[in-house]
Structure 1
Amino acid sequence: MKYPKHSFFILFYFCITLAILLPVASGCTDESEEAMETGIPATNMPVPLIVHSTVKNFTNENHLSDQDAASSGQPATRVPIEDGNITKFSEGDAAGIFAVRNIGTSTGVIVDNINNTKLLYGTSSEGSTWTPEAAVTLYYYEDVTYVAYYPYKENITIDPTKSVNEITASFATKTELQPATDQSTGELYTASDLMTASGQATDSSDPTKKTLSLAFTHSYSLLVLKTNVAKAKYKAPDGSFKYHPKVTALNADATATDVVIMDIKAYKIANGVFRALIKPAPGDYISGSYTTHKMLIKYNEALAGMAGLAAGQLFEYEVNVPIPGTTGATERALQVGDFYFADGTIWPGGIDTAEADPPKTIKDSPIGVVFMVGALHDGDRPSGGLYFGDPLISAYECKHGLVVSKDGISTSQKWSENPESVAYWLQDNPYLDLSSNILVDTGTLQGYTNTKVLEYYADNSSSGSQLHIISNIRQFRQYNPAPANSSGWYVPSYGEMSLIVSGKGKDTGTAGLTLLNAQLGKVYFGLKLNQYPFWTSSEYSGTQMIGVNTDTGAIQIELKANPKSMRPVLAF
């Protein structure tokens, strides 16, 4: 089975350097030509070269030297599983070094037979040091350039007549120094991490010694794959509604195996974290595969904004594999401010949640925001005395709450062209067993029933075509489908509109409006509630309807003939 891939983030790190300090001591500073050719100083008192090292990681941040790390109790090792992206050397590591006089000229020549001389890393009374092979000594000469590489391989040669840059670049062309196709162990991975450096000796604080500073840089690119499993983070207490499938908790996938990155068997440095070194290439993608939960996962992703990977560059890629079910998910009740999606799922957007802002990848999907939590059936009376009691809503089993649309209807049309009272018309044309005064509600949350009554009037009255509030809500439904398990969009009653604005039902104030506008501002194309007053489905008389002032939260009697805006709501 192949799961879709998800990219969560991409990081690049440049200028990866490993600074190697080589304090040099020689018997004298006035060498003869014989000393230059034979390696024996004129004083006949050679001083052995002591090589120390300091390191930098991929982010180019300074870190403790190996010597300091050891004294501070921190690991002084280059094993990646311990140091992440930090480059350090470990006991027994070997580097090769060349000494070249007149480098980059036709007279360039290897000096003192320092020709792929092996240096070993270890500890001594001098601290962490690099020591040449037995019977080999490095000396200081003014016109000698040292070129080094890591890891050491036998039979590596250079052309001393080439420039420093040409020589260091040539190491990456050597067959022996290519990144391995199998880097699945620490040893294989480390052996693929080619680094090069060059430099000339300088004076030190000790007049009997000279210092050679070599700044190593990585020759290859580092790719890091992070494998995660994405499990449901929340579940409804009674399981009656579902959270959005992307509301997940990511955990490192400890079961990921057989990881391949760009045709290379990758090295596991921690659960769900793998890495591989590759040659810099102009390609603009990363690809590979791995096995988890009896599934073969394949991935192929473009390197955003890049034409390829450069030497010393790090690229991280994350694969999140969704695991179905809600096992282990935390129970979370619906909250005002949650986001409601077209498939009826919820994205936690409550004020106290960490998921207050949906990811940009799905930001255009919410269709509204929850503004009331609770059932809408006859008899409920929440705190504050707001009487719910919508006579018809229970038929849809909408027991979770109310949602205000992220979009609205802003129109110059009137509530109605006809001054006729719908309540008066209902006396002779009853709708079901509802009272003819049903539209003259007292602040109940019965916009669904009100809208049904108004639609009945629009379809059966000779003046129904002039009821613009219904033609507008019907057009809105056509272009903004609601989930099948909801009531569908309807015109809110003044009680519902008051609740949207005040957040407290039949009360003044704009706390609800402030909260909802903050949430609507997080949704693409979210239209804030800043046009007042709004149409409602509550009728006051033949010529008037009941509106709500969004500046104060107070009800406001408005003429039906005046143009208004309207914000649909639904129950679910």
Structure 2
Amino acid sequence: MKLYYSLYTFLAAAFLMTACSEDILSDKISQESDGTLHLRVSACDFIEDSGTKAADNGSELAFEQGDRVGVLILREGEPVGTNNLPYVYDGAAWKFDTQTAQAENTGKQAWSETEIATFIVYYPYDAAADGIYDIEGLKAAFQPQPDQQTEEAYRRSDLMACTATVSNLVLDVRLSHLYASFSLLPSVEYTLTDGKNTRIQGLLEQINISVGDQSNLMPFKAEDGSFRYILPDGFSGDIRWFYSCGTAPYGGSRTLDKVEPNTRYSQVDCMDGGEYGYDKAKLGDYYCTTDNGSVGYLLPTEAAYLLDEHHCVGVVFQTDLSRIGDAEKEALGGQAHALALAVRNSPCYGGYYYAAWWGQYGYPEEDVKDCATKVDQYTDISGLHNTESILTTRATEINELGLYQAFKGVRDWRNTEPLPDNTTDWFLPSAGQWWDVLQIMGKAPALADPAEQTNTEYPYDYIEQGDVVPNLNSWLSGIPAKDKEEFTSSSTRTEIYGYWTSSEFSLIYANKWYYIDDEGVLAMSRDSKHIDGNVRCAFAF
């Protein structure tokens, strides 16, 4: 459902140059006169098309140190001497910009004549205004830029000017906007399935507008979250806007009839994204729990800025239903939506150091597939089946002998980080599920190659696979440090821990993946069941 609000009242704000024209007495300037022109410059606010003063909420133009205005001088309608004089703001006062004048080498000097004259002050200064002596000439020379995404581009597009006639060397002017401004305040809201119907807003991306027949124009984002665009002089026609939130596109349009200068035309565009349930799961979404794990819900990637307010336990890494195992689907009543990977390792001990042995050396796991080739690894996609099989058939070895420490770590994790009933429980990902993690989250190009996915050769090292570990950690970047554990690599081949899969390789080996820094090597390979490895769980929902 689209909640659509428009401000369609067109009460044009009359642009009167006389409104900014003042005869100012010299006693209004506190600084001592040095025989040259002194300026005091401020800017008018835009007037909303409803006839009220625009509420800029921090985006109102305030001159900064280094800003420059140009001064055009006429007497009885004719230009006087060297024109288009640059004045610069030093943070406290406006002064003749000697440095710019000397760099241009056109003979410009500070104005020092006291006879009555007409001054046109404009912003921002540009040497291209040399030879221009009226407002229309300025507008013809300095039209709004198509791309106004940066503050500099927006301010250069927002041409302002004022005309004043004085008979002294003190000039106090208030500049008015020569063009109109369009302001769009878009938002997309979701309702979380957290049992509280929490409403959130997603961050927007790829915002652009079309003005008449000009498309893909980039607006400037103001501090209040609105997007501003300076319109062409006297524009009439349609303005269309486009933006995305997550993977969903949004847009709208509005027709304006000959916009008035110094006027802001505002538009509020509030979209209701509805309930963000499991059916909307996408890669990178955050699975969160509350009430001691009894309630689980998704926080979309576009709301990552809210992660410090939610307890995230997993990140979605797979939504392709063909890559979700049968056991996972059966546990969910035949309907699965996605797989998520834990944001922390499961603490498990009993190996040589602080990781875990996979299982019992020399003992086959009859119900667990042996993955001795690449295609075996890729097609073993049910970590839940593997995990439940070993937890059931090796319960005695786990409970009484302290073996199968990796799987005991999974069982312990189920108690440490409980999940709601509408998920599978935690399991140790299979070789195929880890393959997907490394391909999708780690962006390892070799693993995306169909030839590798069907390869019947023995698994071996993949050279030059890019920044696999940093890529994995980028998916966790929005999660507070206290709530996550980043993926690690091995510095050399003598210090390999890596991450266990739940897939067996043979009597004495199980499948593991690791990344070696000094060689830039990613391996989806084997290791002895009595060698340490990290345990990172996953689940389906």
Structure 1-normalised TM-score? 0.42
Pair member with larger Rg: 1
